[in-house]
Structure 1
Amino acid sequence: MDLHVRYEGDDDPDKCTARKLARFDLAELHRSDRDTPYGIVLNPHAERALSPADADLANENALVALDCSWESAGEKMFSLPGEHRALPYLVAANPVNFGRPMQLTTVEAFAAALAILGELDHAERIMAKFTWGETFLELNEEPLRRYAACEDSAEVVAIQQEYLDRE
């Protein structure tokens, strides 16, 4: 599954997980919406949750993330063409947002999406480039496993609600 990033470049370049993925040829960066390929766009504002039912669409196209600072990650930023899907409840393991729900880096978002879509080996491969990568997968092992076992978006949302109710 190809990973593509609509790259804004407004984060600290030393902490940018998308740039690191690109350095290892694990993702391709794009500087404009027009250059970004059509695919499943990981969008926290999307109306549907990502589920295993999206796997065929992801394999035929690309998995796309927007890399920008959280301050500029408003709904208007997600104007990319494609099938927009939200990731369900997960907890960040990156050093900046450790333990915060839904504050994932680009690589964490990709790894979560890959795990949900049945590509756990690919998720492990990209997370291996980060000292805290294994921690993300361990911290979210149960929810990722449960989300990956769902039939569709509705089931993912139902499981997500269980985690939100615990918060």
Structure 2
Amino acid sequence: MELHVRYEGDDDPEKCTARKLARFDLATLHRSDRATPYGIVLNPHAERALSPADAETVESDALIALDCSWESASEARFALPGEHRALPYLVAANPVNFGRPLRLTTVEALAAALVILGDRPHAEEILSKFTWGETFLELNEEPLGRYAACENSTAVVAVQQEYLDR
């Protein structure tokens, strides 16, 4: 699956995981909505959760994340063309938001989506560029495995609810 990032450039360039992925030719950065390809758009405001079924039902081989500051990640920023899906409950491993639920970096979001969509080796490859990358998979081993085993979005939401109820 091709990785694409709608890049806003409003974060610290030294901590920007999307820029690092691009430096290693692991993702393509796009500066405009129009330049961003159609695909599965990771959107925390989406009505449907990402599930393994999306790998077969979306007619695109592109996975798209929006890289912007958490302070400016409003719903309006996600006006990208594509099939919008929300990631389920996961915990960040990055140094800035370690242990905080749902505060993932761009690489964490892309890696989580790849695991859920059935491509764990690709997730491991992109996370290998970060000292804390393996920690993300370790922290989220159980939920990622459970989400990846779900049949559809409804099942992912049901599993997620178990984590939220804890």
Do the two structures share a fold, i.e. TM-score over 0.5? yes
Structural mapping, 1:78-157, within 5 Å: 78-157=78-157
How far apart are residue 57 of structure 1 and its match? Answer: 4.5
For 1:48, the equivalent position in structure 2 comes to 48
How far apart are residue 59 of structure 1 and its match? Answer: 7.2
Are the equivalent residues in 2 in contact too, given 1:93–1:139 (CA < 8 A)? yes
Structural mapping, 1:20-99, within 5 Å: 20-57=20-57, 60-99=60-99
**RMSD of equivalent CA atoms:** 0.9
How far apart are the structure 1 equivalents of 2:59 and 2:22?
20
Are the equivalent residues in 2 in contact too, given 1:39–1:57 (CA < 8 A)? no
One-letter amino acid matched to 1:98: F
Are the equivalent residues in 1 in contact too, given 2:46–2:85 (CA < 8 A)? yes
The residue matched to 1:60 in structure 2 has which SS? Answer: coil
Are the equivalent residues in 2 in contact too, given 1:88–1:156 (CA < 8 A)? yes
Residue 130 of structure 2 corresponds to residue 162 of structure 1: no
How far apart are the structure 2 equivalents of 1:111 and 1:140?
11
**1:78-132 deviation digits (Å, cap 9, x = unpaired):** 0000000000000000000000000000000000000000000000000000000
Q: Which runs of 4+ in 1 moved over 2 A?
A: 56-61
The residue matched to 1:64 in structure 2 has which SS? Answer: strand
Name the count of aligned residue pairs: 166
Are the equivalent residues in 2 in contact too, given 1:42–1:65 (CA < 8 A)? yes
Are the equivalent residues in 1 in contact too, given 2:39–2:59 (CA < 8 A)? no
How far apart are residue 60 of structure 1 and its match? Answer: 2.9
The residue matched to 2:53 in structure 1 has which SS? Answer: helix
Residue 17 of structure 2 corresponds to residue 17 of structure 1: yes
How far apart are the structure 1 equivalents of 2:93 and 2:77?
24
The residue matched to 1:146 in structure 2 has which SS? Answer: helix
One-letter amino acid matched to 1:118: G
How far apart are residue 58 of structure 1 and its match? Answer: 5.5
How far apart are residue 41 of structure 1 and its match? Answer: 0.2
